[in-house]
Structure 1
Amino acid sequence: MKLPDFPPFQAPSAGSKTLSATHRSQGPSPRPFLKFCNFCLSAGTLGLALQAFAAEPAPAGNKSSEPPLSGSTTVAPTTAPASAAPATPAAPGKFDWSKQPPVSPPPRPGVFSIAPTGPGYYSLMDLITGKKRDAAPVFPYAPYALMTTPAFDMDFRYREKPGYEPDFFDPLKRIKLGDDFLLTLGGSFWYRYMKENDLRLTKADDSYHLIRSRFHADLWYRDNVRLFAEFIDARSFGQSLAPLPTDVNRTDMLNLFADVKVATVKEAPVYIRGGRQELLYGSQRLISTLDWVNTRRTFQGAKAFWRTADLDLDAFWVRPMITEPDRFDNWDTKRDFFGLWSTYRPMKGQLVDLYFLSLLNDNQTLAFNRPANIIGSSNTQTLGGRVAGDYNQFLYELEGMYQFGKLANLDISAFAVASGAGYHFKGQPMNPQFWLRYDFASGDSNPNDNRYNTFNQLFPFGNYYLGWADRVGRQNIHDFNAQLNLHPMPWATFTAQYHRFYLANKRDFLYNASGNATLRDITGQSGSHVGDEIDFRFNVHVDRHQDVLIGYSKLFAGDFLKARAPGVAPSLFYVQYNIRF
């Protein structure tokens, strides 16, 4: 394995927007200042960590709000079982781990569903063994095979409370090394079988297998310093078509960072994180770990964050990682991504996101969001806001995003809107929930004027919103969609989606889930109706650690697809097995 020429903390990328090894930037960075920042980030983070280890001990019993436990698609219980007593306070002079270390709760996604409550069997194993529960068990892993929440935000603090339900992997969790150090080990493995028909719009079929292994170690010194490392190995077998950049990343690092507490504001800690790290914000329409792909997505850089019971504030500067399947990954020195993000929770079940994001892109080998005849760097600024929640069984969400800046010599002006309303039929058999939604992202009508109006979807979890066939991205699109969620049993989840896709501007491209421009009719004569997609997913929660997911997606061609890719009928069938520990 050839190591990169950069300082420490350079590693993997797991996103949809990646480059092959042949597209690696060569020679010295065109941005000496940012390269110097990278060196300072790596050396300075370790310096701060060592300094904090030697610092004066923090007072015992540092207060921290205990975040809810939730998964990528469902909202899980937030309280411990009634039999669990309050955590036992630490002895005088010893650090109190009962609410430490602090954990960032995963944000509620759009098109969220609400998990079943009340007596029942909450896993297939519960049913087999006859273990009927009064309520869902408290556990950090979502009862679903896909989980975008990073491993470093898994919350095992419930184990400090007497009466918690023991688990086979407990010896790996919250290992106390003396009074001041806490170590947690864990990982996951998945296998997925994929059967694709016309999925790349080339009349080519493929059947293949994906496997992914992840292992992590998480070491805390009190709540002052954290060192987190996570290994990933992602592979594919049996592919007749070339693997996608997101299919393979052999023996690399997904996360490798240090956290240092630099202040306490209103009894809540302020941390600085430096190194390789996954990012996940808000609805994940713009920033996500992208758990659907085999490699996930990660960045490298620095982040400062502050968490309270009702307000979160983040500021970050990072670069996306470039996945190189057989080499140690490097960050993309030609792309810089920074932003400010705030989340306010005025009451239980309600949230407000406000954010500013900036993507500076000098990488000319990336074809995302630019016509072939435009050569030059881009500077895309995004302002956005979102409200979401549930109230009296009504579910709602509204997010608006506006972009401005420069693409070469063009002025950027683009926007996107995501809206939805739903209803939770509480107390009815199978816990039904139904959503009606409309999503829009602007396109460009004239490639020869001095304006560029195609929305840039940045780093999204696009499949979750725009269909699992991956043919449609949040760029130049209208999407009228509906979703039905059912829980035939508390351990079984069935989701059905319907999408009707239209191009927002029929002279612009159809963009796929990765943001790549795929098909276009510059004359607009092929119409705007892309097609209609159906998606079905059925998840079996086997036990606290294991899930099986079965899915099928089919895109029925509209006038545009029939004209630009005659005879294609994209479909996807998959079966996935997950185990987390």
Structure 2
Amino acid sequence: MKIRYSIIAIITLHLLLSAPQQAISLETEPSVPSYKLNRADEDYRYLKDGTRRIDFWDPIKYLPFNDRGDWYLSLGGEARERYEYFDNYNWKELPRDNGYALQRFFFHGDVHFGANVRLFGQFQSSLENGRSGGPRPSIDKDELDLHQGFLDLSMKPAADATLTLRSGRQELAYGSQRIIAVREGPNVRQSFDGFRLMYRLGDLAVDGIATRPVKSNKYTFDDGTDPSQALWGVYSVFPLPPATKGKADLYYLGLYRGNAAFDQGHAKETRHSVGARLWRTERPLDYNFEFLYQWGKFGDGDISAWTVASDTGYSPAELPFSPRFALKVDIASGDQDPNNHDLQTFNPLFPKGAYFSEDGLIGPANFININPSIELHLPKDVTLTANWDFFWRESIHDGIYNNAVVLVRSGKNTSARYIGSQPQLQFEWDVQRHITIVAIYAHFLAGPFLRESGPGEDVDYVTTWVTYKF
């Protein structure tokens, strides 16, 4: 309870102390950058110009060590207070009423020693209170640990190009975060230990990675490298012809898991993924198409899996509230025969924690999903989104999985394909640059597969959170 009051106190104090600056801040909003998903991606060198120091926290965002100002320290952090409530969690595999609180805190320091050397460190504290059965493994509780800690060594191989080697503990996020993500939704975010080589030239970006995921544990400074898993590969982003106003991603990713589990059984898994993504954010028509094929070994069997994902949106300029009408259609393969050693189940690697919804009931393996939605942009920076997800099994010989590729329901006892549907309503209010409030309600309507494979009650889900960043 004291933690929640401290967050409220921080927000209230900020609003009181920064009130005289609000008019200035609004007038110069285009020159004030927004906070990044990965705080290590932020750049505060623009604060060398004293006239641009208009924010309450600007005095700690750029602390120069020398006259040139290229040796400097930047500090920042985040506090998030969240409440979640489930009625019939996992379709009644837990008690009917299950409400609990989640708190998350970040604090980071970013030190630049000129243009070529950089040190970044970020601590995370994630806490849980009141959940029936205690915190869920890896995603609810991590009392205090080093979330990121890396060294950057940079050089300029050409006038407009940069090459950076990043070594240490770091976040990774690529594309739409369907495959590699920071896992923002859950209380504990994902990081990796290893190396990342980054080449940048205008709109061209090429990364090479060789990492192992960090294994999140509950207590203080007990997170370590997971020796049973490895992730490596190359990810590139480049512009398409100007007339298309689009971009393309091409990538190869390798995954090793020492003890992988699917509906078929347990075995070592070595999986290779090659994919392409075509995307455009320009209105009125935006799109995001992704195609991926996987091969490798699962025990003595061969892997052959795939996924196709699409998100197409249209935003007519003449309508009030700047609506975006969208349709997502996604499909991922499932295993065709549990008695055969070969495996066709798609593995989403390290996807975003809220792949379909913040409730995380279903993950992106062995599914067909259709999701129409509408997004409205209301006054005062309020966004209202309504959508309805429909789910089927791609293969009736495989079960359904969560985002961590953990089997939720076996498919061995029913041939029903339809899983169910989930309408959802989301409210998001960017109160100001530092404060965001979100509220979500979802209702999962259980279909024949769930009712025939185990408990099959409808699920109600409510969550709300307030985030403060500085």
TM over 0.5: yes
Residues 356-375 of structure 1: matches in 2 within 5 Å? 356-362=252-258, 364=259, 366-367=260-261, 369=262, 371-372=264-265, 374=266
Q: Which amino acid aligns with 2:225?
A: W
2:79 to 189, 205, 211: 189
Separation in 2, partners of 1:158, 1:451: 55
Distance 1:257 1:401, change over 3 A: same
Separation in 1, partners of 2:391, 2:450: 11
Distance 1:427 1:222, change over 3 A: farther
1:323 aligns with 2:211: no
Separation in 2, partners of 1:359, 1:263: 31
Residues 414-425 of structure 1: matches in 2 within 5 Å? 414-425=305-316
Deviation, 1:162, is 6.9
1:402 is matched with 293
1:207 aligns with 2:114: no
Unaligned 5+ runs, structure 2: 1-17
**Same amino acid, percent of matched pairs:** 30
Residues 154-193 of structure 1 show CA distances to partners (whole Å, capped at 9, x for unaligned) of 2334434575360000111121111341110000101001
Native 8 Å contact 2:121 2:149 kept in 1: yes
Separation in 2, partners of 1:523, 1:187: 49
1:517 is matched with 407
Native 8 Å contact 1:468 1:535 kept in 2: no
Q: Which amino acid aligns with 1:482?
A: P
Q: Which amino acid aligns with 1:334?
A: S
Native 8 Å contact 2:48 2:62 kept in 1: no
2:335 is matched with 444
TM value normalised by structure 2: 0.89
Q: How many correspondences in the alignment? A: 444
1:350 aligns with 2:251: no
Structure with higher RCO (Cα < 8 A, 6+ apart)? 1
Equivalent position SS for 2:375: strand
1:259 aligns with 2:152: yes
Equivalent position SS for 1:560: helix
1:280 aligns with 2:173: yes
Residues 200-235 of structure 1 show CA distances to partners (whole Å, capped at 9, x for unaligned) of 331423111111110000000111100000011100
* Displacement over 6 Å in runs of 4+: 129-132
Deviation, 1:335, is 1.1
1:498 aligns with 2:418: no
1:153 is matched with 41
2:64 is matched with 176
Equivalent position SS for 2:59: helix
Separation in 1, partners of 2:381, 2:250: 35
Residues 104-131 of structure 1 show CA distances to partners (whole Å, capped at 9, x for unaligned) of xxxxxxxxxxxxxxxxxxxxx99xx788
Separation in 2, partners of 1:567, 1:133: 50
2:235 is matched with 341
Equivalent position SS for 2:90: coil
Distance 1:519 1:132, change over 3 A: same
Equivalent position SS for 2:89: coil
Separation in 2, partners of 1:361, 1:514: 12
Native 8 Å contact 1:469 1:571 kept in 2: no
1:559 aligns with 2:469: no
Separation in 2, partners of 1:532, 1:515: 20
1:219 to 111, 124, 138: 111
Residues 375-407 of structure 1 show CA distances to partners (whole Å, capped at 9, x for unaligned) of x31110000000010455111111001000000
Separation in 2, partners of 1:138, 1:458: 37
Using the TM superposition, name which of 224-233 and 153-162 deviates more.
153-162
Native 8 Å contact 1:320 1:332 kept in 2: yes
Deviation, 1:357, is 0.1
Q: Which amino acid aligns with 1:397?
A: N
Separation in 1, partners of 2:56, 2:324: 34
Distance 1:132 1:155, change over 3 A: closer
Separation in 2, partners of 1:380, 1:429: 47
1:74 is matched with none
Native 8 Å contact 1:213 1:234 kept in 2: yes
Residues 487-546 of structure 1 show CA distances to partners (whole Å, capped at 9, x for unaligned) of 111511111121000000112011122221111231543x11100011211111112101
Distance 1:335 1:203, change over 3 A: closer
Using the TM superposition, name which of 566-575 and 552-561 deviates more.
566-575
Native 8 Å contact 1:231 1:255 kept in 2: yes
2:32 to 112, 131, 139: 139
Separation in 1, partners of 2:130, 2:298: 40
Separation in 1, partners of 2:296, 2:264: 16
Separation in 1, partners of 2:219, 2:25: 48
Separation in 1, partners of 2:24, 2:380: 13
Root mean square deviation, CA, Å:
2.2
TM value normalised by structure 1: 0.73
Native 8 Å contact 1:185 1:218 kept in 2: yes
Separation in 1, partners of 2:382, 2:110: 32
Equivalent position SS for 2:100: strand
Separation in 1, partners of 2:195, 2:456: 48
Native 8 Å contact 1:467 1:533 kept in 2: no
The structure where strand makes up a greater share of residues is 2
Equivalent position SS for 2:432: coil
Separation in 2, partners of 1:238, 1:566: 24
2:55 is matched with 167
Equivalent position SS for 2:450: helix
